[in-house]
Every structure is written in C-alpha cells, then in structure tokens.
C-alpha cells in the first residue's frame, strides 16, 4: 500500500450548547484544525489533559461523532463523505477498542456473539466462515476456545479487554483506533495488553491511532506523537524527539509531572497551575498563554502557527526559535 492508511486534514468538531436568551447558540470548540497521518504498520499517539479533544478526534475518525469541517481519508478514499451502504463496507477496514472493557461489551451476549457481531453487520463471509474467524481471532488474542460461550461477567478485566480487541480484529481492519485501552486496568494487566497490541501489530501490519494520557504507555508503543491542548495540536514529533527534546512548554509540563518515564534526568520541573480556558470562549492568542510561565505579550495577541523545526518535529509556540531553542530549561530523556 502506498501512502498513509489514515489522513486527517484540518479536522474541526464543534458542539452547540442550549441557547440562552435570543442570541446565537454557544459553541464548544472541541477540535479546532487538527491534521495528521497514520502510516501502515505504525502507531500514532495523541496525548493531552482531559478536555484536550483527543477522544473527540478518535470518535470523529470512527464517524461516531460528526465532523464540522475537514476531511478524513481512509486508504485514500474520502471516508468522511461516505453514507449508507458505502460507509458500512468501509467500516470493516477501521475498528475501535474502547476504554472501559466493562461497559463496552453487551452483558447479555455470549463472547462468540460479541466478536461475530461486526462480521454479521457487515455481512463478511458465510456463517460458517464467520464462525471460523471468531475461533481464529480468539486464539490470536490469547483466549481459549472453551471461553467462546461465556458471558462478559465471567471474564477478568484483562480478558474482557482481550475480548474487545478480538471484536475489533474480527473484520481484519488495517487501522485500529485505541481510546485509552489500558487506563481501566491495573499495571500488570496493562503491560500484558500493550505487549499483545505490539505483537498483533508486528504480525498483521496493523496501524494504530492510540489515545492516551499516560506518557509511559505512549513511549512504549507509539512511533509518533501529537500533543493536544484545548482542541489544537501544540507539538507533533517522533517518539524519540518528543521524549529527548520537548519544545512546547505544555509538553515540558506534561513530561516533568510524571515521576518516571523510562530512565530520565530532569534539570527542572514545571507545575501546571489553573485550568484551561473555556472551549466556548477561547482566548485570542495562544490558548496555553494563561498557564505558561514564559508567556509574553505576543502570546496573548496572536495564535502561534504549527511550524516545522525539524523534519520530524513541529511546534506551535512563538518562543521556540527556528533552531529549536525552547524557553524552558533543557531536559534530557533516555529513549526506550
């Protein structure tokens, strides 16, 4: 396959709030001009605080939330414009693993029926071929054939997430969207699920769009990373560049707030004070300026563009120089 599996350009998602009085309906700017690509066999991570818009991006890519503007291309076709049967046909190529393995599975359905459901809805193969596929994908995710007739409550938390992964893989998708797939699991089980995802990617050349707030998880699994703040990308880089040379003050703050991300040496830390501005009433300049210890007058007056500092590193900050000098003190991280 030539070109990216997924290509998102200038994605915007806005939600209308109830009108107060006779004015216009206030709008929540959940995602505001986000662009990225996911290459075949690679993992793109999206990180940020709660409310940054990362999950809305994932839901928009899956067509579970309507995009206000922008384009979503899947394998070169305009996935965002598809409707009806055409959309149903393409959905087999993109599937999702949800955050909570407890609430994302139908408690009244047996495991085999949960995994077979996307095959039935998309009419993939004959009934006997679907059953064979269910058995095969159970084996791929480390579940046993004797568990096919069990109900979700009869599985452990880690097994339920394996069941969710099996459901996502049933249609043999090229792209899997993972929305914080390990955040509801304990640390030991997290490692098992992450290793499973990495193994499946190597074996089947899967591409992942991986949503997470856990930087250690992102460092372990992702090839490239987007850092989002209040609906916009403030930094985009390869994993190595992001963890060895973070440029944006917000990225610095996220990294310095984590006790351990691999082996690292900090020359200083930054504490994020206050809350992000309202996504309804956005500031004129940089959206991070009110919480940035280095903000200057230009930061409050003009929004910074996302500009390339290196071939695999872009940042939206007025204070980062063209040579890549950042306003915060140097920080050193050892890549995994």
Tens of pLDDT, residues 17-76: 887 766 678 889 999 999 999 999 999 999 999 889 999 999 999 999 999 999 999 999
Task: Report pLDDT for 154.
Answer: 95
Nearest Cα neighbor of 111 from 64, 65, 144, 75 is 144
Q: Which two tokens stand for residue 184?
A: 């509801």
Residue indicated by tokens 């910074």: 304
Note the pLDDT of residue 25.
81
CA dist 320 and 318 (Å) reads: 6
pLDDT for position 101: 81
pLDDT at 335: 46
Residues 229-258 pLDDT 10s: 999 999 999 999 999 999 999 999 998 877
SS3 content of the chain, % helix, strand, coil (to 5): 35, 20, 45
Q: In what order do the strands lie in the sheet with 94-97?
A: 94-97, 175-179, 207-211, 43-47, 224-229, 232-238, 313-315, 307-310
- Is the distance from CB of 196 to CB of 164 less than 8 angstroms? no
Give the model's pLDDT for residue 265.
Answer: 45
pLDDT at 303: 96
pLDDT for residue 271: 65
Buried b (16+ CB within 10 A) or exposed e, 254-292: bbbeeeebeebeeeeebebeeebeebeebbebbbbbbbb
Can you tell me whether residue 251 is helix, strand or coil? helix
What stretches in the chain show pLDDT beneath 70? 1-2, 21-23, 259-271, 329-336
How many whole angstroms separate alpha carbon 285 and alpha carbon 288?
9
pLDDT the model gives residue 188 = 87
């Amino acid at each position: 396959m030539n070109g990216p599996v997924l290509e998102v350009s200038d994605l915007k998602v806005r939600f209308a709030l109830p009108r107060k009085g006779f004015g216009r309906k206030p709008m929540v700017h959940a995602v505001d001009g986000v662009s990225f690509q996911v290459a075949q066999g690679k993992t793109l991570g999206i990180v940020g605080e709660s409310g940054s818009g990362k999950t809305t991006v994932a839901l928009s890519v899956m067509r579970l939330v309507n995009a206000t503007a922008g384009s979503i291309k899947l394998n070169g076709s305009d996935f965002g414009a598809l409707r009806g049967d055409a959309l149903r046909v393409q959905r087999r190529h993109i599937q999702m693993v949800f955050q909570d393995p407890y609430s994302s599975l139908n408690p009244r359905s047996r495991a085999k029926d949960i995994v077979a459901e996307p095959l039935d809805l998309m009419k993939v193969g004959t009934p006997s071929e679907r059953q064979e596929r269910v058995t095969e994908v159970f084996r791929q995710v480390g579940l046993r054939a004797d568990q096919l007739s069990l109900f979700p409550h009869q599985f452990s938390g880690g097994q339920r997430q394996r069941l969710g992964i099996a459901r996502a893989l049933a249609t043999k998708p090229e792209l899997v969207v993972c929305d914080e797939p390990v955040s509801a699991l304990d640390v030991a089980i997290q490692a098992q699920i992450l290793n499973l995802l990495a193994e499946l990617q190597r074996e089947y050349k899967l591409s992942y769009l991986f949503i997470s707030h856990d930087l250690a998880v992102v460092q372990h699994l992702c090839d490239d990373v987007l850092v989002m703040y209040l609906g916009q990308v403030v930094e985009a880089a390869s994993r190595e560049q992001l963890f060895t040379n973070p440029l944006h003050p917000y990225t610095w703050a996220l990294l310095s707030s984590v006790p351990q991300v691999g082996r690292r040496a900090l020359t200083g830390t930054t504490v994020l004070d206050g809350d992000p501005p309202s996504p309804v009433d956005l500031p004129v300049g940089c959206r991070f300026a009110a919480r940035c210890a280095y903000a200057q007058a230009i930061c409050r007056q003009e929004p910074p563009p996302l500009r390339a500092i290196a071939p695999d590193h872009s940042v939206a900050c007025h204070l980062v120089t063209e040579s890549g000098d950042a306003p915060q003190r140097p920080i050193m991280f050892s890549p995994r």
